[in-house]
Structure 1
Amino acid sequence: MARDSMGRAESPYRKPGFIASAAVVGVIAVLGVVVVTVGLLRPDAAPTETTPSASASVTATVEPTPVAEPVSDASMCGLPRVEMEGRLDAAPAALWEATGSFTYPISTESGPGVTLPSGVRACFERTPAGAVFAASAGVAQLGDPGRRQAFVDASVVGPLRAELQEAALTATPDDGAMRMSVSGYKLLSYDGVTARVDVGMTGVGMGQTVYLSSIVPLEWADGDWKLAYERQDAQTPALLPNLAGYVMWGV
């Protein structure tokens, strides 16, 4: 193991190349900066209560409440299968795709089903498998400096979207010193409307192999799984000793 100028063992996790690579693994690292520097989720001002006028007519006509038009939940690219509950204890068949220094699994059945004009890969099944593939593709595309901004614009919803768009403009690009791969997953929750996926990753570079975890919250919106980070998700990717306990993707 390398040693510093005072003869102490130097941890590979503190090397600049690794730190830079880990910082762009996913949106969690970006959130860590945003939450520290920006006041997020400020409570809305309470609505002002109005007191009925004493001269108001008691015979005033009550206007009917407008009925909102139903929002279609159909897949944006026509993927037919829908499952509103379920587990994913075994990894489904997968192909592999690369974006930047990241490789991640994709499926001919579960998605991504389209490539947007921006290059973003989108449209995943509304199934447990679709959620896992969406989370894996999301982490990878957020880790690619050339794809990050377009991905946030297309596939991130929720209260932190604007902050993430701004952060994507100023994030330090990956120097390529660490090659990342989505290696496994844990489907923490799934109800067809929301899901949480723990994405396990492997990084190889500078003679080292490291393992990381990133929790990805998802929400079904506009016919696809969107990443829906909230304030409590503001944490850097966790370093792990190994990926024991994850459902591993076949290679």
Structure 2
Amino acid sequence: MSENEDQSPFGRGFVAACIVIGAILACGGLLIITGLSSDASSAPTPASLPAPAGIDLAAEPAGPAGTAGPATPAGTGGPATPAGTAGSATPGSEDLAGDSGRDGASRCGLAAGDQAIPASAPAVDGWEVTRRVVVPRSAAYGPAKVDADGFRRCFAHSPTGAVFAAYNAIGAIADQRKAVATAGKLMLPGRDTDALIRELRSEPVSDSSDSAQPVAYRVLDASRDRATVMLAMPVETAFVSATLTLAWYDGDWRVVPPPAGEAVGAPFAQRRDLDGFVAWSGI
């Protein structure tokens, strides 16, 4: 383990730091896995992130459902689709990890494009606010669709498309009020996702809508139908990383849920800097 990286147990400290991706929905304390126990350790409060130019993090301008919105220059804010009616949870109880959805084509017609791992920051058409998280948008890589409830989907079948999907996944989980619908749309169908949705339904709905903001990524591994992406998020003067594995299923990238009792985003690590990461953000 390098000196830039300090392994940290999953505990209440991560809740305070707003970095438990999926296990705690954006600092609100809503568990979306089963069998989770937290310790009582303390941790720093989340970093206060400056709002990017032209973006009001307190409001999301209206946009038409089913579209990704108009293009905006890279590095600037753009309109985000407003919250709407939540969709239904994804059915299915079989373990479908690695299922490419029977065909490798994007369900929205996006070209797969370059299959190389993106070693430098990908070009974007704009950065937009979704559920208080600033996320990338590209006509080439996605999202090609935005649902009426603000869920962003349809990404390119490539490692770069998976990175776009991972950033947008962080935005997707930031609103606890839409947790059940989000889990159904975001997670790979299977037994673990079914268990996760049951746990969510048993929890009281919270009005909290805090967020964690990715500022850099590292692709740990990528194949045709699977990618593992580590995301770094600022906490005070340091960073915390979380890891998402995505699988190509039914023409789009889905987040692979952990087994019951484990946290989405694990393993987590505290980092002093972004050494080894590709810095990429719209803030």
Query: TM-score, normalised on structure 1?
Result: 0.67
Whether 1:194 aligns to 2:226 is yes
Residue 40 (structure 1) aligns with: none
Equivalent residue for 2:182, pick from 147, 151, 163: 151
Contact 1:218 1:228 in 2 (8 A): yes
Give, in whole Å, the separation in 1 of the partners of 2:130 and 2:200.
16
Residue 122 (structure 2) aligns with: 92
SS class of match (2:36): helix
Whether 1:27 aligns to 2:22 is yes
For the structure 1 residues 188 and 31, does the alpha-carbon distance in structure 2 shift closer, same or farther, using more than 3 Å as the test?
farther
RMSD: 3.2
* Residue type of the alignment partner of 1:224: D
SS class of match (1:152): helix
SS class of match (2:191): coil
Query: TM-score, normalised on structure 2?
Result: 0.60
Structure number having the greater strand percentage:
1
Residue 72 (structure 1) aligns with: 103
Equivalent residue for 1:217, pick from 219, 231, 245: 245
Give, in whole Å, the separation in 1 of the partners of 2:192 and 2:110.
28
* Residue type of the alignment partner of 2:15: I
* Residue type of the alignment partner of 1:125: A
Give, in whole Å, the separation in 2 of the partners of 1:171 and 1:237.
26
Give, in whole Å, the separation in 2 of the partners of 1:174 and 1:26.
18
Q: Which deviates more from structure 2 when the two are superposed, residues 222-231 or residues 159-168?
A: 159-168
Give, in whole Å, the separation in 2 of the partners of 1:154 and 1:210.
32
SS class of match (2:218): strand
SS class of match (1:160): helix
Instruction: State the 1:243 CA deviation.
Output: 2.5
- Which one has a bigger Cα radius of gyration? 1
Residue 58 (structure 1) aligns with: none
Residue 134 (structure 2) aligns with: 103
Residue 241 (structure 1) aligns with: 272
Moved over 6 A (4+): none
Provide structure 1 residue ranges, at least 5 long, that are not aligned to the other structure: 1-15, 38-43, 45-69
Equivalent residue for 2:150, pick from 93, 101, 119: 119
Seq. identity, %: 28
Structure number having the greater helix percentage:
1
SS class of match (2:275): coil
Whether 1:142 aligns to 2:180 is no
Contact 2:176 2:206 in 1 (8 A): yes
Give, in whole Å, the separation in 2 of the partners of 1:114 and 1:139.
17
For the structure 1 residues 108 and 201, does the alpha-carbon distance in structure 2 shift closer, same or farther, using more than 3 Å as the test?
farther
Deviations 1:103-151 (A, max 9, x none): 2222221011101243210000001110001111112211222443222
Deviations 1:179-202 (A, max 9, x none): 532101001111111110001122
SS class of match (2:195): helix
Contact 1:210 1:239 in 2 (8 A): yes
* Residue type of the alignment partner of 2:257: Y
* Residue type of the alignment partner of 1:92: P
Give, in whole Å, the separation in 2 of the partners of 1:150 and 1:32.
12
